[in-house]
Amino acid sequence: MADKKDSRVKRHIRIRKKISGTASRPRLAVYRSNRYIYAQIINDENGTTIVSASSLEKDLREKFLGRVNIEVSKTIGKLIAERALAKGVKSVVFDRGGYIYHGKIKALADSARESGLDF
């Protein structure tokens, strides 16, 4: 019997067959652990990360005390959008990483959209 993580990884592999980031439209990838949430904007053609944001960063970790909730996800979404716009990235493809588009993942995506990213 497959556990939750195996099922998520299988979903993620299925999604990645269809979604890929390019130089003109990179991929916004999200990973969520029990304690932290991570977001990266990736150009899959070169295999490079353009910008990243995480709740593991020192100032955010001290502010939120290692808890992942909706508020933290919104902050990470806003931060990744600001950093992307500073690098000249306006349009991305959203990769939810096999997670259900609900709760923390949805909050991150909505916050990134409100902050100026287009996807």
Give the predicted TM-score (pTM) of the model: 0.91
Top CATH class, 1-12+58-119: alpha beta
> Using one digit for the tens of pLDDT, what is the confidence trace for 66-115?
778 999 999 999 999 999 999 999 999 999 999 999 999 999 999 999 99
Query: Which phi-psi region, left, alpha or beta, contains residue 31 (left: φ > 0; alpha: ψ -120 to 50)?
Result: beta
34 vs 75, more confident: 75
| 9 CB neighbour count, 10 Å cutoff | 13
Q: What is the percentage of the chain residues whose pLDDT exceeds 90?
A: 88
> In the structure, what pLDDT confidence band is assigned to residue 28 with cuts at 50, 70 and 90?
very high
pLDDT at 1 over 60: no
Residue 101: partners with Cβ closer than 8 Å, 6 or more residues away: 109
Instruction: Say yes or no to pLDDT of 8 above 60.
Output: yes
Per the CB < 8 A criterion, the answer to whether 28 and 89 are in contact is no
Mean pLDDT of 58-66: 85
Has residue 9 got a pLDDT over 60? yes
Average the pLDDT over 32-43 and give the result.
Answer: 94
Spatial separation of the C-alpha atoms in residues 12 and 95, rounded to whole Å: 9
DSSP string across 1-39: ---HHHHHHHHHHHHHHH----SSS-EEEEEE-SS-EEE
CA distances in angstroms from 30 to 1, 8, 76, 82, listed in the order given: 26, 13, 10, 16
